[in-house]
Amino acid sequence: MDEVIVTTTAGTLRGLRENDAVVFRGVRYAEPPVGELRFKPPVQVGPWTGVRDATEFAPICPQGISPLGSSEPQGEDCLALNVWTSATAGPSRPVMFWIHGGGFVGGSGSLPLYHGDTFAAKDVVLVSVNYRVHVLGFLDLEGVGDGFENSSNSGLLDVVMALEWVRDNIAAFGGDPDNVTIFGESAGAALVGALLATPRAHGLFHKAIGQSGTGHHTRSREVARRATEMFFDDMGVAHGDVVALQALPIDEILAPLHNYGTGMSERTRAVFGNDDPLDAMPFRMTHGDDVVPVRPADATADGSAANVPYLIGANDDEMRLIYLLGAEIKPADAGLMPLEIHARRLGCTEDELLELYRAIDPDRTEDDVTCALCSDLWFIMPGREAADLHARHQPNTYRYSFSWRSPANDGLMRAAHTFDIPFVFDHLDDPNVGWLLGDAPPAPLATAMQDAWIRFARTGDPGWPAWGKASRQVMRWDTEPAVVDDLDADRASVWRTTFPALS
């Protein structure tokens, strides 16, 4: 492996040429958020002298349980990014900036599944980023001391600072700072949606892709305040004593994380009250501050990112991921919203919902319908509304549906949450996903999806008709990809009480 030297605005880095890609790992874009910087918005990395090594991944944000396939150490000095490029010289290449998921409680930009070698092989510069999650990234401490303004969005501001690093430095890595596409999955896609409504991020990216997530997943300032009070209680620290919080060992900070997952509980219901239909994830982005001034859906409706082509979609069976543990698990065990709650909120009877969702698949059990309803609530219908709102201002708005059903685990999970990622990254051979995808996932589908994502990054057009009032077509990704007419129009009719912009 040959060393490759690149000079950034802060100093010089040493990366490695590995096969057909040049890789820079663990590139710090911000100062370590430790000590007095814990919980605060990020501070830009300071300059250094000499050559700094960029051949090892940085620690990932502390989260207790390691994410799938990650062997990287955990530590608060986690604000780093990674770059894969085919060459640091030559014509400028499109940049794709990956934002990992993990429900705002975990995840990593260095997962083997997210390595950018396959993108670099197609002459794209791939950047992946670590950002702070859970309370380290989204604890609202504004008003308790100096420097905590907008702390409820520190994790989002981490991503903004990384994008600023890309703007200032990516040309030295062979990338085009004027052609940056942000893309992410789940929480990463929610961050993409929030970035579309973040004034400070305007001009830092030029296209956006959201996989199974939208800007709908923000919380109000009031919910952020209640979540902070819950955390002070869990820590046994007097409310507002931020100095005591900053002095706590990280293991104590991590101890209550099991209370802050993505499912519902009595504690999260108390935090959210009637302010949020999701009743989950108490630590995530906040609207109503200087970073995200209004709900992203409202900002999108007003054309906040009118100049940004947007590709958005979801998997057909998102919430089937709960069946990872086997056939005996029930929706209630996973904290999913019961059918009767859906019916009450949507103004229907349970029988009407069963009839509607069984019209799509007559063999669906009541549990299957509950999973489908939760898939619609969290992913599919917010994505549809986001596309509708964005298409009012931007003609290059596109929708897709990932429909390939995995045969693994007796086919229980179908086209579940996260199953699209190995296809987009064309890493079907990753040993950590084989048990999810089965022995022979369709390689041509991975090639087709990655090529469409890259075409969109290059041109703003993934290769199928745009979504809008005049065209209601969707790319359906399956063994035989096909453009199909509106897949969810009938279901959308009952979701207008929750997502009023649905057309």
Asked whether residue 343 is domain-assigned, the answer is yes
Asked whether residue 115 is domain-assigned, the answer is no
Asked whether residue 41 is domain-assigned, the answer is no
Asked whether residue 427 is domain-assigned, the answer is yes
Distance, in Å, from the CA atom of 481 to the CA atom of 496, rounded to the nearest integer, reads 29
Distance, in Å, from the CA atom of 30 to the CA atom of 107, rounded to the nearest integer, reads 19
Matching residue, tokens 């400028």: 92
Selection from 369, 327, 328, 308 nearest residue 491 by Cα:
369
Distance, in Å, from the CA atom of 458 to the CA atom of 238, rounded to the nearest integer, reads 52
Distance, in Å, from the CA atom of 383 to the CA atom of 206, rounded to the nearest integer, reads 19
List pLDDT tens digits, range 265-322: 777 778 887 777 666 789 999 999 999 999 999 999 999 999 999 999 999 999 998 7
Asked whether residue 290 is domain-assigned, the answer is no
Would you state the pLDDT for residue 336?
Answer: 82
Task: Tell how strand 12-18 and strand 2-7 pair up.
Answer: antiparallel
Distance, in Å, from the CA atom of 25 to the CA atom of 126, rounded to the nearest integer, reads 12
Selection from 116, 146, 204, 121 nearest residue 425 by Cα:
116
- Structurally, the chain folds into a number of domains equal to 1
Going by C-beta distance under 8 Å and a sequence separation of 6 or more, which residues neighbour residue 151? Answer: 39, 40, 41, 139, 140, 141, 142
Tokens found for residue 168: 């200032």
Distance, in Å, from the CA atom of 438 to the CA atom of 434, rounded to the nearest integer, reads 6
Selection from 103, 23, 207 nearest residue 417 by Cα:
103
Q: For 462, list phi and psi in degrees, rounded to 5.
A: -80, -10
Sign of CA dihedral 55, 61, 62, 68: negative
Q: Report CA dihedral (341, 345, 348, 354) to the nearest 10 degrees.
A: -40
Tokens found for residue 16: 């490695």
Would you state the pLDDT for residue 234?
Answer: 94
Tokens found for residue 247: 């002095």
Helices 187-195 + 154-169 axis angle, to 10: 70
CA distances from 272 to 16, 156, 275, 299 (A): 47, 21, 6, 22
Asked whether residue 146 is domain-assigned, the answer is no
CATH number reported for the structural domain that contains residue 391 in this entry: 3.40.50.1820
**Tens-binned pLDDT, residue by residue, of the chain (503 aa):** 699 999 999 999 999 999 989 999 999 999 999 999 999 999 999 999 999 999 999 999 999 876 665 677 999 999 999 999 999 999 999 999 999 999 999 999 999 999 999 999 999 999 999 999 999 999 999 998 899 999 999 999 999 999 999 999 999 999 999 999 999 999 999 999 999 999 999 999 999 999 999 999 899 999 999 999 999 999 999 999 999 999 999 999 999 988 787 766 777 778 887 777 666 789 999 999 999 999 999 999 999 999 999 999 999 999 998 777 666 677 877 778 889 989 998 999 999 999 999 998 898 999 999 999 999 999 999 999 999 999 999 999 999 999 999 999 889 899 999 999 999 999 999 988 888 899 999 999 999 999 999 999 999 999 999 999 999 999 999 999 999 999 899 999 999 989 998 86
Residue 350: exposure state from Cβ atoms within 10 A (0-12, 13-18, ≥19)? middle
Asked whether residue 326 is domain-assigned, the answer is yes
HSE, CB side, 13 Å, CA atoms: give it for residue 390: 30
Tokens found for residue 319: 């919430």
Distance, in Å, from the CA atom of 2 to the CA atom of 380, rounded to the nearest integer, reads 45
Q: Which domain holds residue 469?
A: 309-492
Sign of CA dihedral 194, 195, 201, 203: negative
Which residues are identified as catalytic? 186, 318, 417
Each residue of 169-187: b (16+ CB within 10 Å) or e? Answer: bbbbbbbbeebbbbbbbbb
Matching residue, tokens 């998921």: 101
Residue 495 CB neighbours (<10 A): 22
Asked whether residue 87 is domain-assigned, the answer is no
